[in-house]
Amino acid sequence: MLKLILRRVIVAIPTLILVSMIVFMLQKILPGDAVLTMAGEERDPAVLDYLREKYRLNDPLPVQYVAWATQVVQGDLGKSLRTDVPVTTLIAQKLPVTLQLAAMAMFFALLVGIPMGIVAAVRKGKPIEMGANIAALSGMSIPNFWLGIILIMVVSVQWKLLPASGYVSPFEDFWLSIKTMLMPALVLSTAIAAYLMRHTRSAMLEALSADYVRTARAKGVSPRRVVLRHALRNALMPIVTLVTLLFGELLAGAVLTEQVFTIPGFGKLVVDAVFTRDYAVVQGVVLCVAVGFILMNLLADILYILVNPRLRHS
């Protein structure tokens, strides 16, 4: 397993370098000038020159990239051009918020999506399968922002059951934090649960038609044991990959949900940085997301081995 992890880390290094180069170069060609925003309304030429010199914006792009990459290797992601706060501090403040939201959303998705997929596969051709497919298609089709607005109007405004927006740290008030994040997590989990249901159903149908399942049934093994012990264990392989990748997407793709529920998370940080052309923040956030995806893929490889011990000697 250690050799597997080492190989994945070695492969990840050029991937991170390529991602950082692409993001660095692309954002530089966007229209607008961050220095003009920083200088304020008066825009004194002396101030503009000072800011460009301070942040090395007059240097050629390759020189800027090398300087930034050298700092990153040393653990320094730079400072925000807008607030002069270290990027690592901003990420440390915002990332836990989105991690909590993503973890809760994935929990609800797993709780609903995988059991629905198993039932739909076992009851193939029955009304319950049709109902599960309709629910999955609805979950993939309904926009997150629309569902979030509807939940706020019904659950918060009319029924007054949950807070409509905002965020409370679980270290300040655990149960209030859960109540505040409950609706956003449910909104994010709908599409994820739908994807999990569809993939679980497909994987289970393939596993249930395999020879080893027919053999187990012929030996008189109970239907529940056949489904849960034999079929599900082998069907988990593609599901593990999907879950890890979807969790990575949740970290980077919760922008609309965070905006609807006014959650000060990772998505809002990225949006604000893009609109204000805060180069250092955008670069640091994208690099953090890339590392997250690589870690999720590494976790998927490790879970493969745990789910299927035969891979340990491959």
Domains of the chain: 2-73 (no CATH), 88-313 (1.10.3720.10)
pTM of the complete model? 0.85
Rounded Cα–Cα distance for residues 271 and 263 (Å): 13
Contact 167, 181 (CB under 8 A): yes
Distances 179 to 109, 161, 167, 184 between C-alpha atoms, Å: 17, 9, 10, 10
pLDDT of 159 reads 94
Angle at 68 (CA atoms; ends 67, 70), nearest 5 degrees: 65
Angle at 184 (CA atoms; ends 244, 250), nearest 5 degrees: 20
Name the 3-class secondary structure at 237. Answer: helix
Burial class (CB in 10 A: 0-12, 13-18, 19+), 281: buried
Rounded Cα–Cα distance for residues 136 and 91 (Å): 34
Contact 294, 1 (CB under 8 A): no
pLDDT of 30 reads 66
Q: Residue 57: which of 314, 291, 280 has the closest Cα?
A: 280
Rounded Cα–Cα distance for residues 186 and 148 (Å): 9
pLDDT of 297 reads 80
pLDDT of 32 reads 67
pLDDT of 313 reads 57
- pLDDT tens-place values along the chain, 314 residues long: 677 778 877 887 888 888 888 878 877 776 667 777 676 666 778 878 887 887 777 888 888 888 888 888 888 888 887 788 999 999 999 989 999 999 999 999 999 999 999 999 999 889 999 999 999 999 989 988 899 999 999 999 999 999 998 899 999 999 999 999 999 999 999 999 999 999 999 999 999 988 888 888 888 888 888 888 888 888 888 888 888 888 888 876 677 888 889 898 887 788 888 777 787 888 888 888 888 888 888 787 777 777 666 665 55
pLDDT of 149 reads 93
Query: Which phi and psi (to 5°) does residue 79 adopt?
Result: -120, 150
Rounded Cα–Cα distance for residues 293 and 246 (Å): 10
Rounded Cα–Cα distance for residues 135 and 7 (Å): 40
Rounded Cα–Cα distance for residues 153 and 161 (Å): 11
pLDDT of 242 reads 86
Contact 130, 150 (CB under 8 A): no
pLDDT of 18 reads 87
DSSP for 296-313, written as a single string = HHHHHHHHHHHH-GGGGG
Rounded Cα–Cα distance for residues 220 and 226 (Å): 10
